[in-house]
Amino acid sequence: MKHTPFVSKSADQPQKLAALKQAWQEWTTSPDILARLTRRLSTTLSLENQLTIFAEEAATVVPFDSLQYRHRIAKQDFVFSTGLGGPHRAEYRLNLEGAHFGTLTLLRRKRFTEEELGGIEMLIGTAICPIRNACQFIALEQTARTDALTGIPNKRALDEDLARTSHLSDRHQETYSLILLDLDHFKAVNDIHGHLVGDQILRLTAESMERTLRVSDSIFRFGGEEFAVLLPHTASNEAREVADRLREAVTNTIFERGDIRVGVTASCGVSTHMQGESAEQWLTRADEALYRAKREGRNQTRISATISGGQ
């Protein structure tokens, strides 16, 4: 199929280009608030930055004391707040094309007028598409960092968080520990009962581990039947206690269906980040400790030899 290029043969093409240039100049320099808001929102896909821009522009026409935004994106709560609240509020559910993109609330000490509410709605009408795009971008980012089977963060997320945590540990001299947990003899579970049962055990294991951990702790599926747990402000001995609690939680997780009743145990390796150590070196020490736990009988916890002398 032959494609015809889009070639203008109009005699007034130069005038059209000149008009386009003038329109562009007017658009980029226009003091109109809606044009300015649109321009500024189009420069970023960061939802936090977009809400900051919206708050700045809205305040120039409708004074308020506080702006709040809440939305649950891909199973995670996103909360944004600026300023201090008041007793009067203007609250809006942001909906577009049948989908919900959060709740935006303006608060202040005196009641909003009908004219002000109309102005807020016009600003929201201008901002809703960029806000939707930012929410969808966050959802895509979270999907890329999430294990499809268990719903917890994946190895990509672990690699990113370990790199960031290593930097924070060096910069602020804060203590972080890492646990690698591997389900013992899991291949036999798949061989005997099938991968569907094995997958269900992995899901149940992830759920039981999440319930065992603190809110500040982070759990990841490292790969196969192996999980990783990142513990902030936790030294090696405390991390070992956490690892033992996780192993107990795994042991108590039983899959039952009909005549099938399957349980597993787990082995753990623990390492605490050392000053100047790279994320890869930190992870390697945890993996070596895990290997020792499995080599020495499984269903036990071992701490990195560098930290504990091989205990």
Phi then psi for residue 39, to 5 deg, are -60, -50
Q: Are 19 and 108 in contact (CB under 8 A)?
A: no
Which stretches within 181-228 are classed as H helix?
Answer: 186-193, 195-212
- Helix 155-172 to helix 279-295 angle (10° resolution) is 110
Q: How far is CA 12 from CA 8, 16, 17, 206, in A?
A: 10, 6, 9, 67
Q: Is 225 labeled as catalytic in the residue annotation?
A: yes
Catalytic residue among 57, 225, 226, 277: 225
Reduce the DSSP state of residue 4 to 3 states and report it. Answer: coil
> Which residues contact residue 279 at a Cβ distance below 8 angstroms, ignoring those fewer than 6 apart?
159, 162, 163, 165, 166
- Helix 33-41 to helix 13-29 angle (10° resolution) is 90
Supply the residues annotated as catalytic. 225
